[in-house]
Amino acid sequence: MGMFEFLRTNFWHVAPLLAAAAIAIAITAERSKALFSSYPIKDAEAFFDKINELVMAGKLADAIALCDRYPTKPAAKVVKQGLLRAHQPEGLIEHGLQLSVGDATQMIQRRTGFLATIANVATLMGLFGTIAGLIQSFQAVGHADAQQKSAILAAGISTAMNATMMGLAIAIPCMVAFSFLMNRSNRLVSELEQSAIRTLDVLKQRYYSAESGAVHAEEGFDEESAPVSNGKQNGKIVNMRRAV
Return the C-alpha torsion angle 46, 52, 55, 60, nearest 10.
30
- CA–CA separation, 226 and 69 (whole Å): 52
Cα–Cα nearest to 56, from 235, 181, 207, 176: 207
Q: Which residues contact 240 (CB under 8 A, 6 or more apart)?
A: none
- Tens-place pLDDT, residues 88-135: 888 899 999 999 999 999 999 999 999 999 999 999 998 988 888 888
23 assigned to some structural domain: yes
- CA–CA separation, 137 and 139 (whole Å): 5
CB atoms within 10 A of CB 79: 29
Q: Is the pLDDT of residue 220 over 70?
A: no
Mean pLDDT score across all residues of the chain: 82
- Say how many domains are in the chain: 1
223 assigned to some structural domain: no
Q: Is the pLDDT of residue 35 over 50?
A: yes
216 assigned to some structural domain: no
55 assigned to some structural domain: yes
For residue 126, the enclosing domain spans: 3-207
66 assigned to some structural domain: yes
Split at pLDDT 50, 70, 90, the class of 214 is low
Residue 235's pLDDT is 43
213 assigned to some structural domain: no
pTM of the predicted structure, to 2 decimals: 0.76
239 assigned to some structural domain: no
Residue 158's pLDDT is 81
Instruction: Give the N- to C-terminal CA distance of the chain in Å, as an integer.
Output: 131
221 assigned to some structural domain: no
Average pLDDT of the segment spanning 172-200: 95
For every residue of 162-217, DSSP letters joined together read HHHHHHHHHHHHHHHHHHHHHHHHHHHHHHHHHHHHHHHHHHHHHHHHHHHHHHHH
